[in-house]
Amino acid sequence: MLSLNNIHVTFNAGTPTEVRALSDINLKIADGEFVTVIGSNGAGKSTLLSVVVGTVKPERGSVHLDGEDVTAWSPHRRAMHVGRVFQEPRLGTCSSLSIEENLALAAARGKSRGLKGALGTRQNRKWLADQVAKLEIGLEDRMTQPVGTLSGGQRQAISLLMATLLPMKILVLDEHTAALDPGAAAKVLALSTEIAETRKLTTLMVTHSMRDALAVGHRTIMMDSGRIVLDFTEEERAKLTVQDLSSLFGRAIGKQLDDDKMMLA
């Protein structure tokens, strides 16, 4: 169980540029549950993910993982349990390194051995190629090719594999298909749900697509101005259309949603 309790985050506190990014966030996510997160621009969605990953420390509140208080854990320590994929494929991978070198770095996470150690044996290399083969996008025969030469979708699939390569519990997807063309986005989204399901990962996925927010995973939360304003179970959201979701969101925040991208995506 991932549990966020009474989380408050303010950026630039006490300065003229102070921003309250999260206010009193309480969220419990069961093991293996896949939650989609949608909301207005600047609602605090990415900040919420950063609190889970540990790159943003809340000024108040706590984060618990399986009952253990991990609030003070560094992002490095949390990385043994939490994997994140960003919107921008370049952020998750190193362009000048090959596919297998990128994966070896992910495999070496938290261990003292370096890149050479992780790639060390033929057996290790074979294991990495086997993991790539499971993506079924034909990259297992191109393991020594620099990642910078791959398409955005291929690169994001490698980022996804890197984030989930080692045993871990929580997958955090931050609009990870937004920079891809529609075909690649659909493929990466399908891979994400498949990995989350087979590995029984607790997953948080931020999206700007209401359609994806309703169709993917098990539960949908909507955020506005640093708060969770709506939270739908699988059963509840099964009855909702994109139009319903937009109306309910408008009612909850007291104004009409003006983000056409969210409605149409």
Instruction: Kindly state the smallest distance separating residue 229's Cβ from ligand ATP, in Å.
Output: 12
Q: Which of 32, 42, 75, 117 binds ligand ATP (CB under 6 A)?
A: 42
Q: Which stretch binds ligand ATP (CB under 6 A): 38-46, 128-136, 211-219, 230-238?
A: 38-46
Q: Which of 2, 34, 36, 47 binds ligand ATP (CB under 6 A)?
A: 47
Q: Which stretch binds ligand ATP (CB under 6 A): 35-43, 119-127, 228-236, 243-251?
A: 35-43
Across the beta sheet with 60-65, the strand order is: 19-29, 2-11, 60-65, 68-69
Q: Which of 41, 149, 198, 256 binds ligand ATP (CB under 6 A)?
A: 41
CA dist list (Å): 136 to 38, 132, 188, 252: 29, 7, 11, 42
Q: Which two tokens stand for residue 30?
A: 């069961």
Instruction: Kindly state the smallest distance separating residue 4's Cβ from ligand ATP, in Å.
Output: 14
Single out the residue of 50, 53, 39, 70 nearest to residue 9, CA to CA.
50
Across the beta sheet with 227-232, the strand order is: 82-85, 170-174, 202-206, 34-39, 219-224, 227-232
Q: Between 78 and 208, name the residue whose CB sits nearer to ligand ATP.
A: 208
Q: Which of 34, 35, 45, 58 binds ligand ATP (CB under 6 A)?
A: 45
Residue 43 binds ligand ATP, judged by CB under 6 A: yes
Cα–Cα distance measured from residue 47 to residue 212, given in angstroms and rounded to the nearest whole number: 20
Give residues in contact with ligand ATP (CB under 6 A).
Answer: 11-12, 19, 21, 39, 41-47
